[in-house]
Structure 1
């Protein structure tokens, strides 16, 4: 019998697939299209089995859909710009491009060893000029549409990475990449106006039934829509107003102080000379604190009185103005009307500084001690002038109407979402295509002059400035408008800009005169199945949706959502930790392939847990799957030996054959349902294992196995395992005498007739207790089954009156006697 040698058969079939260009996708086809896409990796080193899980899931989907008759687009690429390459350049004196391309070559080789069915002709590398030229083009399109702009502002600064971070890249006050505490810095930065699309981004989520609900919830929470009112509070003695946004205008009569965020320019505008030194010292101290921790509910509330008062427009009362550490500049207007009786943070601040607490909402039933804790629920308005006695929910509407009538403010919708900060003070990114001219001001680089190329010869020093600022050759240029001397923007774009449109470039990766062909992307997009980690729920997915909607509104694409279905896979842990080099718990796919073969690794990754769940790597687990793979192989070649020998029967199927064929077609049906019903690959493989056990029993116990049945099983088994263990399947198919490639074959159908059982076993109960079992022909009538059931328990019911007989079709008969 032929021995299983994956180290020989896997490279053999990989070479055949490559030579025959099996996975190259025609741009158009009579077949229905299917775009299967996994999130592309950042090439920071070699892959571990956690990465491979993502690509294996995607490959199962692509291979299965191909076998179902779809024209499948299944491309791959690399999110190749980013800070780690620059850090490597500093640490190892190696150019970021060389470091990146070396890693890409390693990763490409690892993926090919796994037998992943990518169309390598469509490979995209975001740090190549033929890609980032079009990233710059997208910037220009947003700039032309008024969606890219520059403004000064407080930004998140990572002292270690020496760069600006978007809000989404700050986790618990620390840099997402290196874990250093993030500080504040005031810089002029470029932004994309994603806030203009807040409502469209929210509304679009309702049209994505193929997305996990928890991912949509994360995006809704990040966008953070709030409905309320904007109200202007005049500053006493100055021709200034403090505009606040509140979702609870029903509490406006309870305002006892105003609070402004430390980062707001208003603070230094309003502070009196007497208070300036104290306020500046407070601001300096707060600037060193973690913004996100200081604004948490539990954090200590601190502030300083600015020496100024505002006037409540509805009551005329003087209200002290404070700078307070618990106010976020990014949310609302960066200033609040503080109502300590009805907000926990305001309450804590008021208690700390001895400020009044004025109750204006009371519970509908019972009393509330407002000195003990704030009352934050709905209720009845009190101490609120003409609104006393109103239900607070209705009061919100009535107060807004009153504010609008009097000209004190207006109804407003606000979002937590802030504009997307895209400036990065680093080299290894797409240069922002902007020129500064003393005469003409800000001038966009003309399209014909793209790409603005990164200079090769730059110095990598962690100075806090982009290394491009040190390149005289790069900086100095000519103004495209007036022809005079000018200088380039020396900052590069956030790498999330690169990844916000890469799925479009796969459609036309070699197109030179535009980023993509509109008719081609309208054929392929939206992506039918997108697969990746849930950690990208807010950043990458939100930005990709935004850029797609902009391109749609500008007329470049005919769809406004990029991903029709989304699947988020779980992580693979080892020793209870996420795999990382620093923890020393990385499992290399190369090592596993060398020891067990790629097919075993693929099968184990899919079998270890439902793919959406996290799973713990087990060396014993992959050993167990390897034993199964070998048993399946051995059974297969036992069948081939019988098929090709003089032994075995060609006669009609007996009882054992019919039972095994029934199991075969039940397995085919189940695996199809498992794949299509939520990617239940683990239970699909479990079904394959169960059938293999039944096949073993048949081969070991039946003296002359039926050749006709074995031919059918051999053919179906090879087809069924093809998406999961493609190399093994090709070898089996070839040895079965087939001349085609199995990857080009159709997925097998199951036979409904074969699933029908000739005999069924029925449980017999007497007064609800099991007293026997009967075997009857599957087509027996209800009366026949009841009659046989009574006969089966004849001794137990003799001399008793049968009151009723209940029949549950195909399962049981319950005889009620007294």
Structure 2
């Protein structure tokens, strides 16, 4: 019989389960290696072949490190709270819990089919009360803390110094003062509200729902916020010690976005008192003399206060229109689109020249960055320039190029540094000096001060959903917010019949009155936490998942942390990583974890792309709605040296394009089908052989078949397949075979080892393929020891087949913990090198030259060997050559007369 993956693979999966082969326990005698996949969300559609790419990579590293003597922790679990399950519940009435655990069962079945070496005894799901009990506990640690800027760390709220005047005002004032300083606080924040779904959406969820035809508007809601901005500088600084790709590090820095500048105070004309002023942050205080108007975000709290009666209708209409635009749409419009806005009727006073300037609102200013207000300098900012030109506002030049070349700021903004002009006390100063001098002047005049600003915003942490972690908080009749107490955890979700929020946005939990209303008149918090909550700390729970008295023990955390290798999609390169790092730092400050950062090394795998087809004719492609076809609708015509595609019914010529796999595109490939035909080992091998791990690559069925053929050849090195009998093991040779085979083997050991360490899995697989090809080509029986070493090298990539071959060699135990083979340095030294032989400039063959002959010093001896070679002698005969051209170490060219 040939290589029978359908029999081999289930047998070894059952063996690993029965023997708990991958269970990890603390062992101080061995070095640890914690390798982790980004938490998958178990969707109803199950895995497609793109999902296992990262999982295969981590499994290769886990298996390799075990064989290198490491104590490996390689867990798996489920990020199982989420909007899809809730939407399904809203449509069908099925409890989201039931749907979620159906999806988990399917995902787990598919992962186990692929033979990943997870320690399933550590399996967790964020939706399990035993898990989210500790998510609630962590939230209480954050809520119960404040950030001490002097010590640059979080401290318990009980240690917050209370000013004497606050203490004198009584307990309620003290409570309010503490609430203002907590790392988790209540705030009226603008959110993405979807009236159709009656849910608040994260920014990342908006595009999908708009694409599906749902309206999304920005409305203010009373929300829980987490003060991640307190950690902005630490989140930047600690990136320096991480082994992450430069692109991800840069994305993190850009998202936090540190800016140095000044906060400037603009008094409101005609108004008095401490609230009669606008504060703006600017990185270019040297351009203050060029500020000719101000702009507020439409959501700015002062808009309704300062708007005059004459402008009120226009302002309110604009604010309402803006509410229907997402932040992303507004950011794109700010960069590329037409500028829109409305004059409020109010004016401010420019602090450097006392000029009265108009205050506008416009959607190109966002509330989340800086103060939600800007001083507009149209002569030196492109967005302000476009707005000023549209609205007919003044444009003044206050910076000139240092080179002295003339510029026309009426035609185009000049945003570059230079020399201050038309700027009073800072005239003729270069930009850097002008910034410093005007900032010092503002400080002295109590009209501003130097400031560091971050684009990072506090984390909006509430959702008006049912399917999420309940907050462990209660609202007392007095209005105070209090913890339910650690002993009351977990606060479990109540059973409800209706999973829909109210039309006004009240969460579904608000309807569960018997759960919400407590005997003393207090009410539970009815918002739930976002899906991000459970995935912020799961790596810590994996260290000690069955601990009922603590989220993890200090012994387990100190042994396993940090995560040595973290692999996942680039779509999580910013927010998930930022939020997890933030939680980890709070826990570090409070003494609950021992490391500053959770993830030592991070790798983002590329995407596996699926085929879709579009009309080949550009005119047909552009006419009417975009037409995209899937494989079932397409016929492939093989023309020998090319392939053409046509629509099966219309025969319209099509061209192939490669897109991210998704159900909506119809280009998803189910791994169940691939495994049924070719086996899990083939799929694992192909996932890694497509190209470098970080690169995206198309799914090519012929490549899958090629990997299957390779495994079949490897199988035949060990087994005979007579037609009239079952497979039986070959009679292998002794030891590691001939000198040539030993050199090939040890070069393969060295190459595969080095490439796994670099996670260059595609080239490691190439080395294994070369080994099998060369052993077959030589026709020499594979030595028994060499066969065993080949099994060990194959094991991380194709573990089922490797175990089968290992057992065929007479080894009764699994090779999971067999020592990784070591290359013999003496066998890595080449005994010869290759010389290209040419006659009259045409390549006629290659010649192996003994390594003892130095390419640069032994020209005569090398030339003599070349002349005596068969490749040359049959052309030269007895005639001496006219000339011999020798390129040291590369080629010899015999030129005949």
Query: What TM-score, normalized to structure 1?
Result: 0.92
Contact 1:53 1:605 (8 Å CA) reproduced: yes
8 Å Cα contact 1:458/1:468 also seen in 2:
no
For residues 279 and 799 of structure 2, the distance between their equivalents in structure 1, rounded to whole angstroms, comes to 64
Distance change (3 Å), C-alpha of 1:561 and 1:168: farther
Q: Which residue of 1 aligns with 2:711?
A: 629
Helix, strand or coil for the counterpart of 1:492?
coil
Q: Residues 268-317 of structure 1: CA distance to partner in whole angstroms, max 9, x if unpaired?
A: 11112222222112212222233332342222212222222111111111
What is the rounded CA distance, in whole Å, between the counterparts of 1:41 and 1:118 in structure 2? 14
| 1:165 Cα offset (Å) | 3.0
The CA distance in 2 between the partners of 1:624 and 1:644, in whole Å, is 24
Q: For 1:734 and 1:752, locate their aligned partners in 2 and report how far apart those are by CA, in whole Å.
A: 29
Q: For the Cα contact (< 8 Å) 2:849–2:862, is it kept in 1?
A: no
The one of 742, 747, 753 aligned to 2:820? 747
Aligned to 1:185: 219
Tell me, what secondary structure is at the counterpart of 1:16? helix
Is 1:211 matched with 2:244? Answer: yes
1:728 matched to 2:801? The reply is: yes
Give the structure 2 partner of residue 15 of structure 1.
14
2:136–2:490 Cα contact (<8 Å) kept: yes
* Partners of 1:182 and 1:290 within 8 A in 2: yes
CA-to-aligned-CA distance 1:3-38 (integer Å, 9 cap, x gap): 311111111111111111111111234110000100
**Does the 8 Å CA contact 2:64/2:820 hold for their aligned counterparts?**
yes
**Matching residue within 320, 332, 347 for 2:385:** 347
Q: Residues of 2 paired with 1:643 and 1:272: CA distance?
A: 92
State the alpha-carbon separation in 2 of the partners of residues 215 and 176 from structure 1.
28
Residues 449-488 of structure 1 mapped to structure 2, 5 A cutoff: 449-463=488-502, 464-478=505-519, 484-488=520-524
> Which residue number corresponds to residue 617 of structure 2?
none
Match of 1:694 in 2: 774
Change (3 A) 1:320 1:751: same
8 Å CA contact 1:458, 1:467 repeated in 2 = no
CA gap of 1:793–1:561, structure 2 versus 1, over 3 A, is closer
Tell me what 1:442 maps to. Answer: 481
1:278 is matched with which residue: 293, 309, 314?
A: 314
- In the TM superposition, what are the counterparts of 1:395-544 in structure 2 within 5 Å? 395-439=434-478, 441-463=480-502, 464-478=505-519, 484-544=520-580
- Quote the residue 1:601 is aligned against: 683
Worse-matched range after superposition: 754-763 or 506-515: 754-763
Q: How has the CA–CA distance of structure 1 residues 800 and 673 changed in structure 2, closer, same or farther, with 3 Å as cutoff?
A: same
User: Contact conserved, 1:181 with 1:290, CA < 8 A, in 2?
Assistant: no
* Residue of structure 2 in register with 1:660 after alignment: 741
Q: Does the residue aligned with 2:335 lie in a helix, a strand or coil?
A: coil
Partner of 1:300: 338
Is the Cα contact below 8 Å between 1:764 and 1:789 reproduced in 2?
no
User: For structure 1, which segment, 184-193 or 605-614, has the greater mean C-alpha deviation from structure 2 after superposition?
Assistant: 605-614
Pair 1:274–1:450, CA change in 2 (3 A)? same
Contact 1:297 1:345 in 2 (8 A): yes
Q: Matches of 1:405 and 1:567 in 2, distance apart?
A: 50
Aligned mates of 1:53, 1:373 — CA distance in 2: 49
* CA distance in 2 between partners of 1:555 and 1:368 (Å): 58
- Classify 1:360/1:681 alpha carbon distance in 2 versus 1 (closer, same or farther; 3 Å): same
The aligned length equals 791
Q: After superposition, give the CA deviation of every residue in 1:671-712 in whole Å (9 maximum; x if it has no partner).
A: 1111112x111111122122211111122xxxxx45xx5213
* Residue number in structure 2 paired with 1:250: 286
Counterparts of 2:676 and 2:203, CA distance in 1: 43
Unaligned runs of 5+ in 2: 146-181, 612-657, 868-875
Change (3 A) 1:783 1:460: closer
Contact conserved, 2:245 with 2:603, CA < 8 A, in 1?
yes
| Corresponding position of 2:647 | none
| Higher mean C-alpha displacement, 15-24 vs 709-718 | 709-718
- Partners of 2:63 and 2:508 lie apart in 1 by 45
Separation in 2, partners of 1:731, 1:793: 47
| 2:326 paired residue among 277, 290, 293 | 290
1:228 and 1:610 map into 2 onto residues whose CA distance is: 43
Superposed displacement of residue 632, structure 1: 1.6
Where 2:185 maps in the other structure, the secondary structure is strand
Bigger shift: residues 275-284 or 775-784: 775-784
CA drift of 1:519 comes to 2.5
Give, in whole Å, the separation in 2 of the partners of 1:475 and 1:772.
85
Cα deviation for residue 129 of structure 1 reads 0.5
Distance 1:570-1:560 versus aligned 2 partners, 3 A rule: same
CA contact (8 A) 1:774 1:789 kept: no
- Equivalence map 1:28-39=2 (5 Å): 28-39=27-38
Which one of the candidate residues 126, 149, 169 is aligned to 2:185? 149
Cα distance in structure 1, aligned partners of 2:736 and 2:186: 80
Aligned to 2:41: 42
On the 8 A contact 2:34/2:563 being kept in 1, the answer is: yes
Partner of 2:80, secondary structure, is coil
- Of the structure 1 ranges 364-373 and 494-503, higher mean CA displacement relative to structure 2 is found in 364-373
| Secondary structure, aligned partner of 1:744 | coil
1:114 is matched with 114
Q: Distance in 2 between matches of 1:28 and 1:801?
A: 70
Cross-structure match for 1:565 = 601
C-alpha separation between the residues in 2 aligned to 1:799 and 1:114? 62
1:323 paired residue number:
361
CA contact (8 A) 1:13 1:727 kept: yes
Residue 481 of structure 1 is matched in structure 2 by none
